Amino acid sequence: MSPGGKKSRARSPQELYDEIKELLIKTKPKLKDGTTRDETITRDLHKIASLAQTFTEQRLKSSKKSQLSDFLDQEGVSLWNASGAVRQGSAPDSRVVVAALRLAGFRLMEAGLEPKPETEALLHILQIASKAGATLSGVF
C-alpha cells in the first residue's frame, strides 16, 4: 500500500517496458565508456532486473507474446554480452557490475521467452540462470 493508504496501481507491461527502456538508455553508455565504478550503474541494473521480473509475471498472466518481449530479450542478450567485456577489465569493483549485468540480462531474456517455450529454450534459460546465480554467489 502507498503512504496514503491506497493500493498502488499495477503498471501495465507497456509502462514497465518504457521504464526499462529509459534505464537502458541511461545505463548502456556508461558501460561503453568504462564508468563501471559508478554505483548508479549497479542500482539501475538491479532496477531493470526487478522491472523485467514484474513484466514476466504480468506476461505469464496474459499468456501471449508481445513485441515488447522481443526487445527485452535482445537487450538481455546485449547486457549479458557486456558482462563479458566488463569482466575482462581489471577494475577491482567490476565483479559487482558483472553480477548486476548478468542478473539484469537473465531477467530480460526471461521476459522475452515465449509463453509456452520449447524444451531447448527452457534449458538455455536455465543455463543462463545458473551462470547468473554462480556469479552472484561469488559477489555476495
38-81 pLDDT, tens digit per residue, is: 688 999 999 999 999 999 988 767 656 678 889 999 999 999 99
Q: Is 117 left (phi over 0), alpha (psi -120 to 50) or beta?
A: beta
Q: Is the pLDDT of residue 120 over 70?
A: yes
pLDDT at 45: 95
Instruction: Give residue 139's Cα distance to chain centre.
Output: 17
* Model confidence, pTM: 0.85
- Domain residue ranges in the chain: 13-139
pLDDT band at residue 136 under the 50/70/90 scheme: very high
Cell reading at 12: 501495465
In degrees and rounded to multiples of 5, residue 126 shows phi and psi of -65, -40
